[in-house]
A and B are shown apart, each in its own frame.
Chain A
Amino acid sequence: MASEALVQLFHVYKQYAGEGPALTDVTLQVGKGEFVFLTGPSGAGKSTLLKLIFAAEPATSGQLLVFGRNVAKIKASQVPALRRAIGVIFQDFKLLPHRTVFENVAFPLEVRGLGPRDVSRKVNAMLRSVGLELKAARFPLSLSGGEQQRVAVARALVGDPALLLADEPTGNLDPDRTLEVMDLIEGAAARGTTVVVATHDRSLLERHQRRVIALEAGRVASDGDAFRRISGS
């Protein structure tokens, strides 16, 4: 199993400048093809952990291997290659308001230097799979929250990443929209993508019977089967 691990953290600490510790002595592994929930109250360090994984923030100390590559010591020039293998659904979407839905989703492909024909084919297929093919020419702010979230999912998945990180992907969605988005993420997992979803929504943990890593005040409080954890608490 260890050789199959996609993400490995060993005694990782993270402290933002002028703040208390955000992560303390975090050790965990996520295997290839696994679907993991990262949960815990607000401020527990979920977002920070995800940021460390795609090198948006440096770890203060500890070892952090992603695809077997030591992200704790990664060179700036190697960061783009790492990020191209990771799809991220950001909590605040991070869509560009002055770009169309199509252009937003095309971004990760253009950055890879794909030609316009390939970009167009892949983006259109992706938009169809998230049910937004008719909104391709719209601007994000003219869409509902659920639709914007699906644009964010589409952009994270369009590059066919080996690892999908989702930060509160259902954070401000009503139950129906939540189902839609989680179906998309489950779909990616079914196609073999390794998935880490940060959420504080317990109903998600109950509905999706998956491994749950719980953080509390920056430490791993528990790590195991969702059902046991929920019923045991």
Chain B
Amino acid sequence: MALRPLSFVRRALEAMVRGPFMTAVAVGTIFVATFVTGLFAASLSGAERLLGAWAGDVQIAVYLAPGADLGAAARAAEALAGGREVEVVTPSEALRRLKASLGPEAAALEGVGAEVLPASVEVRAPGISLQEARALAGKLAAVPGARDVDFGNAWLEKVELLLSRLRWAGLVLFAALALGTAVLVSNTLRLGVFARRDEIEIMKLVGATDAYVEAPFLIEGVLQGLAGSGLAVVALYALHAILAPRLVSAVGLAAPLLRAQVLPPALVLGLLGGGAALGLVASALAVGRYLRKP
């Protein structure tokens, strides 16, 4: 039997035009699911961007064991940090900084010798992301005489942990939404299948295969999924255009929240693919339940 994909697409489009209400409900449901998921994902990546901007001037300190060779450590750090700015902090410099940061309270340090503070090598890495900072810190552990590597911003770690938990929550949310949407949409599409039961019956009586009967419904599901998720992407773009400038000025951020960062192509493609898959699964459920019926 010859394959005529275009005739299937034509039949799917005809069916959608004949049942505009069902089409609207299916598209609308998939729109809501993909929009909510997209909004969640975009908020997360936006939050990560903001966090990165705040983290700004990341400084990694490699604390050295007493008696370590400062010069060798600095050269090793320079090599490992790939040309970043490296500064050697001797124990006395560390004490001076500590006193300066304490201000009037510095009197409490009276009589404390510089030798109680460890020498360190500091690597400045402006604009580096948290992941990169962690990776760099890991490499710097190899500096001869290194005892401890610290990249200050402990609170960033906590926030990052929170974000990664939210990412998981997002996945769970998406899974739950996808399941709910598939069931909802398949129930809607089942009405459409039911409305065409005479046509299906006659098709089968004159020798149509199940695949022939099914194909237009599946194509219809994919088209509805693409329409719903496409609208969601457009809505997310619009929301970004409205919100991003306000948000940036509200938190006094230097860098703009670029669309490509908040709504990266991978996310957009994921939403479109997810929407199409939802439509496909929903229509397969709908027509399968009908066809497999005795």
Contact = CB atoms under 8 A, between A and B. Distances in A.
B107 interface: no
A81 B209 CA distance: 9
B4 A113 contact: yes
A155 B210 CA distance: 20
Contact of A80 (B198, B202, B209): B209
Contacts of B260: none
A45 to B, nearest CB: 20
Contacts of B208: 80, 111
**Residue with the highest number of chain B CB atoms closer than 10 Å, among A80, A83, A110, A115:** A80
Size range of the interface on B?
A: 10 to 19
B247 to A, nearest CB: 52
A115 B2 CA distance: 8
Interface string B1-38: 11110010000000000000000000000000000000
A83 B207 contact: yes
Interface in B257-285: none
Interface string A28-52: 0000000000000000000000000
B130 to A, nearest CB: 56
Interface string A144-158: 000000000001000
B203 interface: yes
Contact of A111 (B198, B201, B206): B206
B87 interface: no
Size range of the interface on A?
A: 20 to 34
B284 to A, nearest CB: 17
Contact of A114 (B2, B3, B204, B206): B2
Interface string A132-171: 0000000000000000000000010001000000000000
B199 interface: yes
B108 interface: no
A113 B205 contact: no
Contacts of A82: 207
Interface string A98-111: 00000000011011
Contacts of B203: 107, 111
Interface in B190-205: 198-199, 201-205
Contacts, number: 52
Contacts of B206: 83-84, 88, 107-108, 111, 155, 159
B212 interface: yes
A111 B199 CA distance: 12
Nearest to B6: A116
A80 to B, nearest CB: 5
Instruction: Report whether over half of chain B's contact residues are helix, strand or loop; otherwise say mixed.
Output: helix
Contact of B7 (A56, A110, A155, A159): A110
A54 B207 CA distance: 10
Instruction: Report whether over half of chain A's contact residues are helix, strand or loop; otherwise say mixed.
Output: helix
A96 B198 contact: yes
A114 B206 CA distance: 14
A176 B203 CA distance: 31
Contacts of B209: 77, 80
Contacts of B202: 94, 96, 107
A202 interface: no
28 contacts: A56-B205, A77-B209, A79-B204, A80-B204, A80-B207, A80-B208, A80-B209, A81-B207, A82-B207, A83-B205, A83-B206, A83-B207, A84-B206, A88-B205, A94-B198, A94-B202, A94-B205, A107-B203, A110-B7, A111-B208, A112-B207, A113-B2, A113-B3, A113-B4, A113-B212, A114-B2, A115-B2, A159-B207
Q: What 3 A-B pairs are tightest by C-beta distance, nearest first?
A: A84-B207, A83-B207, A113-B1
Given A107-B202, A107-B203, 4 more contacts: A80-B207, A83-B204, A88-B206, A155-B206
